[in-house]
Amino acid sequence: MSIPKTFIYCPKCSARALKPSSPKSIVCSECGFEYFFNPAAAVAGLIANDAGQLLVTVRAADPGKGSWDLPGGFIDPGETAEHALAREIFEELNLDVASMDYFGSAPNEYTYKGVTYSTLDMAFICHVADFSMMKALDDIEQAIFLPPESIDLDHFAFPSIRTFVERFIAAKREDS
């Protein structure tokens, strides 16, 4: 990991005195403040309908505008991963999650307004009882169900999401 060049001034004393302290931190040579570039936590939901089709979203904004994604987003301070995912799925798709099971995690990078954030993305298999109220909201352009065999992994915006979908499809193949 390289230290982002966008950090110039110390957030504690405002001095222009930030220097690398380790491969993942910077320190202010004036006041001693040290900042660690730890990953931000994010969640994604793998949701299938009764026909076994995967719910895929189309991103309405950058990064990755027009690319495929899974419903989800960043975990807010004070939230559990499960609460954040249920909140995000409701905000993005107007769907209530009946239950969810942890599926796995993967590192990722998310570039927003010129700053690249390291993230740790966690995926859950989510069960939704009723899709009748589903609609694309928030930062979702479209929500579509796709049969696993027709999914092109190259359409997904982020490597972590591709990893989750690829593992999900492989697990479905093993089950059949």
H or E, element range at 170: helix 159-175
pLDDT in tens, 41-52: 999 999 999 999
**Residue 174 banded pLDDT, cuts 50, 70, 90:** confident
Provide the percentage of residues in the chain whose pLDDT is more than 90: 86
Give phi and psi for 4, each to the nearest 5.
Answer: -60, 140
* Dihedral angle, C-alpha 88, 89, 93, 99, nearest 10 °: -160
Q: How confident is the model over 111-131, as a mean pLDDT?
A: 93
Residue-level pLDDT at 127:
98
- What domains are defined for the chain? 1-37 (no CATH), 40-175 (3.90.79.10)
Rounded to an integer, what distance in angstroms lies between the CA atom of residue 122 and that of residue 97? 16
Name the residue among 45, 46, 73 with its Cα closest to residue 61: 73
Which pLDDT score, from 0 to 100, does residue 4 have?
Answer: 66
Q: What are all long-range contacts of 72-77, with beta carbons under 8 Å and residues at least 24 apart?
A: 72/42, 72/43, 72/44, 72/45, 72/121, 73/42, 73/43, 74/40, 74/41, 74/42, 74/119, 75/40, 75/41, 75/42, 75/43
Average pLDDT taken over every residue of the chain: 94
Model confidence pLDDT, tens digit, residues 54-90: 999 999 999 999 999 999 999 999 999 999 999 999 9
pLDDT computed for residue 73 by the predictor: 97
- pLDDT for position 155: 97
Distance CA 98, CA 113 (A): 35
- The β-bridge partners of 116 are 111
**What is the pLDDT confidence band of residue 38, given thresholds at 50, 70 and 90?**
very high
Going by pLDDT thresholds of 50, 70 and 90, the confidence category of residue 7 is confident
Q: What pLDDT is attached to residue 89?
A: 98
